[in-house]
Amino acid sequence: MPDLAPTLNIKNQLHTLTTPWVMGILNATPDSFFAGSRFAQSENALRRAEQILQEGGKVIDVGGYSSRPQAEDIDAAIEKSRVLPIIELINRQFPEAILSIDTFRASVAEAALEVGANIVNDISGGNLDAQMFATVSRWQVPYILMHMRGTPQTMTQLTDYEDIIKEIMGDLQQKIQQLRALGQKDIILDIGFGFAKNIQQNFFLLKNLSLFQVFNLPILVGISRKSLIYKTLQISSEEALNGTTVLNTIALLQQARILRVHDVRAAVEAVKLVEATWQQ
């Protein structure tokens, strides 16, 4: 891959992302948009975690709040009841695994960190919980800062931008400064494909993803089986693996460092082939 090789401090070990990482999705929810990512029961979740690791995934991203458009809003107690037992179980069974908690709530993030999570993945970029930045800075774990407007219930009505790249960059820059002021070291950027962006905007952002390298931070791309793929191709999310691989490859060619996916094996293969190309 090209020159930049960002590092992350996880479990007091320095990890260099010379080779891009693949993050496998483990949804402890009953209503995620892709049925193949739902693993609410502990035994199923453990099998999913094992599959992610066996297929070459570096991070297991555990979420208990569905962020699909118009998803049901649940309270923090329900979210914790879904994710904490699974994180504890995976941490006990696979102690070397790197676990991410997918939540916008500081209280859920902290509870997950206490039982073994290593990364906080916040779809709201701190917008939905004023305590999130202070929480991750206190724990000094890598924080995935994503751009979104509104909430999962309102975001589809908030896609009006005058200059989408400039506005997303401005939002991210402001929040990076806030995090740095609190002493936060490891920040990963996610421009939030599908979150308060329409299909045309998503493709425009993907085409221009390399512009976000200006922040000199690792970029995560979460585009797996999303509507820009299946609506453009007029297929279902279950049929969107090939399209996902195509767009993940485009992201890798623009130096994306983490791919958040439902299908780990396919993403790992894409990483290997892009790397083999760059090495020539």
List, by residue number, the catalytic residues. 226, 260
Identify the residue whose tokens are 């994306």: 256
Which of 146, 128, 127, 126 is CA-nearest to residue 136? 126
For 48, residues 6+ apart whose C-beta sits below 8 A from its C-beta are: 24, 26, 39
Please state, in angstroms and rounded to a whole number, the distance separating the CA atoms of residues 24 and 268: 10
Q: Where are the alpha helices (DSSP H) in the chain?
A: 42-54, 76-93, 106-114, 132-139, 164-181, 199-207, 227-233, 241-253, 264-278
b/e for 130-157, b at 16 or more Cβ within 10 A? eebbbbbbebebbbbbbbbbbbbeebbe
Q: What does DSSP assign to residue 34?
A: S
